[in-house]
Structure formats: C-alpha cells, structure tokens
Amino acid sequence: TRRGVPEAILGDGKTAAETASLAATAVETTGRAIVTRTDDDQQRAVRTRLADDHPAAEVTVHERSGVVVAHDADFEPPDVAATVGVVTAGTSDAIPAGEAAVVAGEMGATVERVEDVGVAALTRIVDQLDRLRETDVLVVAAGREGALPTVVAGLVNTPVIGLPVSTGYGYGGEGEAALAGMLQSCSVLSVVNVDAGFVAGAQAGLIARAVGSARGEDDDE
C-alpha cells in the first residue's frame, strides 16, 4: 500500500468469479481485500470463495454502496487519531460516498456520516453543524448542481473535498454541473473527479493521517 492507501478491486466489468479470485489473492497477500462497485452476484461469490479459502476472514458487505471489505484473522488495521466526515445531499450519492467512507476507515481514520442535507432545505445542514465542525477533514458528495460543498465550506473551518456525483440528466447532467460548480466554488475547496469516491476518501485519509500523526508527535517525545 503506497502512502497507506490500500489497493482496491473495481468490481465493474468483471465476472463474479474473477472478482472473487482477485479478492482471495488480495487477502492472501495483504491480509485485506476491498472490492468496489459490486452487485449481488459478485458479493455472494466473494463471500463463498473467502469462506472456502480464508475461513477466518471477516467479510463486510456495504449494501448501499456496493463495497465489500474482508480482513483476515491476523490483519492489523492501521489506527489514525483523526476523524473524516462524509456528507451526502441525497440517497443517489450513496455509492461514491460509501466508497469514500470505507477507504478512509480502512486507512485508520474514524469516519462520521452526515446524510441527506441537500441545499434546497438549509435547516437540515444547520442542524448538523456541530457534528460537521468536530471532524478534521470533510468529504462532501453532491450530484445535480453540486452546491452542497460550497455551502458546507462556508460554515466550517476544516478542509473540504468536493465529490461530484453522476446524477442529473440534460445539460450538465451525469455530474458535469456538479464538477464545474465545485471547481467554480466561491468557498475554498479541492475536488476529485465525478464519482471518484475512492480518491476522495483516500485523499481525506491522507490528510487525516497527517493530522493524526501530528497529534501523536508529542507522544514520541
């Protein structure tokens, strides 16, 4: 794992058998497997295969986001003394936001989920401000016009990573308006590509690691 960023297996476009086989190899060689964008078949195949090959491994299926994680019995997860917040505007943001949450968690950060706080109903965001302000870094997912990261970044002091989601149709649909809006944001943000939940979560994980290890520096003294 370069930079502590775990390798992940992309389920999209692979057969259930291929996916299961790659997952088994990952557990074999690194003690862990992370598989993203899986469907039911792939999830079942991974479970079955790991039950055979690595019966001691613990397998977690995140259904809404399609991510599968397996830890072998002796896998020692990293631990980072920092919190990553993952915020969504609506249910259609579940897949990339879920990927971000999983990868940040697997990098050792504590993950805080804040859901369904779309910009068309500001009070819901304001109600969550305390939770948002307690994180060290935020991933904010949003589709269609993608305005949520701008609004959130106007309310907190933590760094915000915008994660555009491929919702919407017509002009600016499929995440284009969201990406463009986040790049044009009046608030200070950095962004990742449309649906790149894994990248957003990993970047948040890297920032959490930097903060967490700064926190720990005095411990070493």
Ligand X SMILES: Nc1ncnc2c1ncn2[C@@H]1O[C@H](COP(=O)(O)O)[C@@H](O)[C@H]1O
Contacts with Mg ion in 53-112 (CB under 5 A)? 89
By CB under 5 A, is residue 164 in contact with Mg ion?
A: no
By CB under 8 A, is residue 190 in contact with a second copy?
A: yes
By CB under 8 A, is residue 35 in contact with a second copy?
A: no
* H-run or E-run covering 104: helix 94-106
> What is the C-alpha separation between 59 and 75, in angstroms, rounded?
12
Contacts with ligand X in 183-212 (CB under 6 A)? 196, 198-199
3 binds, among Mg ion, a second copy, ligand X, none (CB under 5 to 8 A by kind): a second copy
Question: Closest approach of Cβ 3 to Mg ion, in Å?
Answer: 18
By CB under 6 A, is residue 8 in contact with ligand X?
A: yes
Pick the stretch among 2-10, 107-115, 122-130, 156-164 that binds ligand X (CB under 6 A): 2-10
Contacts with ligand X in 55-114 (CB under 6 A)? 91-92, 99
Output the DSSP codes for 8-63. -EE-TT--HHHHHHHHHHHHHHHSEEEEES--HHHHHHHHHHHHHH-TT-EEEEET
Interface ranges with ligand X (CB under 6 A)? 7-10, 36-37, 91-92, 99, 196, 198-199
